Amino acid sequence: MAKPVYTVFLCSWLVGMSLAQTPALRVLPWNDHSAAVSLTFDDARPVHLDVVVPELNKRHLHATFFLIVSKLTRLDDWRRVQAQGHEIGNHSVTHQHTAELTKASEELQVEDAKDFLESNFKSKISIFSYPYAELSPGLLFWVKRYDFAARGWQGEGESVYVTADTEPDWYDLPSQTAYTKYDAAIYRSWIDKAVAKRAWTTFQIHGIGDPSSGFEPIPTGTFLSLLDYLKTQESKGLWVAPFGTVAAYLRAQKTLEAAKPQLQNGDERFVWKVPAQFPAGVVLKTAIAGGARIRVYQGKRELHPSKSGVYAVSFDSEQLIVRGAL
């Protein structure tokens, strides 16, 4: 009986050794940048079209605009904003406090706004921003049904910096609110702290300049200074990208890194599931140890590393095969 026992032990040892040689798969955080900052603008204000978008475009920066359907005017201008690379998000139909909503109207605030935006922008709208940063069980239910990520509460301190090694609440992601009293140094410190922590932070902005332009308007000079500083930091490795773009990358990163490799004919096969309502086209910059001895495939397509050894992995594929590592 000793021989079968030894055989079982040997097989187990060999399998263990094989698994121990599993290539390290690591998604590079923030699209291979040092940190990330997202600018979001609420309420579909005319100043966003007249001031914000032109100034962003001058600097080749892109932002997210959460639109209130009932306040939406100049629709053709907003379509151009999207065509210029900016992101459109759902900010409800009428922007009411949760205490004013019924169970039926909670659904309408999310679903009707989404339907209107998708119909008029001819694209999927899968991010939401809660009016007044107020959540209710009903709103949360419908947001989870129709969206993959939502900007929620107005955080403070360390909590507004999302690091790549944490698992955030995708339906209540934090943001920092801009106020008229803040000077440019405050906003620079938010950016500097994101870089120091190698984290992601989101700015929540309403009006610009004139008090009639929206809630707590940022002085125009302060706003322009903020954009200039972001552009400078971008040249040093900061990722300045829309809210949904960064959220999608981070959530895809978490999903891929959680995938357990399966051994199949000597190959390692990673399989994952794309979350519901997830945007298409997310590409993850991924490092896979093994050097020249490995070959990497998605379906029948072989992936080739960049000069720095980084693979561009399509999240839509839901599978990745590493051949030659064992």
**267 and 219 assigned to the same domain:** no
**240 and 273 assigned to the same domain:** no
**263 and 236 assigned to the same domain:** no
Residue indicated by tokens 């030894």: 6
Percentage of residues in the chain with pLDDT exceeding 70?
92
pLDDT over 50 (residue 14): no
d(CA 186, CA 178): 9
Residue 182 lies in a domain: yes
Residue 77 lies in a domain: yes
The domain tally of the chain equals 2
Residue 7 lies in a domain: no
**44 and 110 assigned to the same domain:** yes
**159 and 242 assigned to the same domain:** yes
Give the end of a domain, one of 247, 271, 289: 247
Residue 177 — φ and ψ, nearest 5°? -90, 130
Question: Which pLDDT value is given to residue 324?
Answer: 85
**281 and 149 assigned to the same domain:** no
**162 and 240 assigned to the same domain:** yes
Which CATH number goes with the domain that contains 176?
3.20.20.370
pLDDT over 80 (residue 2): no
**175 and 269 assigned to the same domain:** no
- Per-residue pLDDT reduced to its tens digit, 22-50: 458 999 999 999 999 999 999 999 999 99
**243 and 282 assigned to the same domain:** no
Look at residues 60, 49, 68 and name the one whose alpha carbon lies nearest to residue 241: 60
Question: Which pLDDT value is given to residue 230?
Answer: 98
Residue 258 CB neighbour total at 10 angstroms: 10
- Per-residue pLDDT reduced to its tens digit, 250-303: 999 999 999 999 998 889 999 999 999 999 999 999 999 888 889 999 999 999
Question: Which pLDDT value is given to residue 326?
Answer: 60
**128 and 213 assigned to the same domain:** yes
Amino acid found at 11: C
Residue 323 lies in a domain: yes
Average pLDDT over every residue of 51-67? 98
Residue 6 lies in a domain: no
Question: Which pLDDT value is given to residue 264?
Answer: 86
**239 and 291 assigned to the same domain:** no
Domain residues for the domain of 267 are 259-326
Residue indicated by tokens 């960049």: 306
Average pLDDT over every residue of 151-178? 92
d(CA 46, CA 207): 9
Average pLDDT over every residue of 192-197? 98
Residue 19 lies in a domain: no
Residue 23 lies in a domain: no
Question: Which pLDDT value is given to residue 153?
Answer: 79
Give the end of a domain, one of 197, 212, 247: 247
pLDDT over 80 (residue 90): yes
Residue 52 CB neighbour total at 10 angstroms: 23
Residue 100 CB neighbour total at 10 angstroms: 9
SS (H, E, C) the chain: CHHHHHHHHHHHHHHHHHHHCCCCEEECHHHHCCEEEEEEEECCCHHHHHHHHHHHHHCCCCCEEEECHHHCCCHHHHHHHHHCCCEEEECCCCCCCHHHCCHHHHHHHHHHHHHHHHHHHCCCCCEEECHHHCCCHHHHHHHHHHCCEEEEEECCHHHHCEECCCCCCCCCEEEEECCCCCCHHHHHHHHHHHHHHCEEEEEEECCECCHHHCCCCECHHHHHHHHHHHHHHHCCCEEECCHHHHHHHHHHHHHHHHCCCEEECCEEEEECCCCCCCCCCCEEEEEECCHHHCEEEECCEEECCCCCCEEEEEHHHCEEEEECCC
The mean-pLDDT minimum among 20-24, 85-89, 147-151, 227-231 falls in 20-24
Question: Which pLDDT value is given to residue 325?
Answer: 67
Residue 178 lies in a domain: yes
Q: Which is more confident, 198 or 22? A: 198
Give the end of a domain, one of 225, 247, 269: 247
Question: Which pLDDT value is given to residue 266?
Answer: 86
**91 and 214 assigned to the same domain:** yes
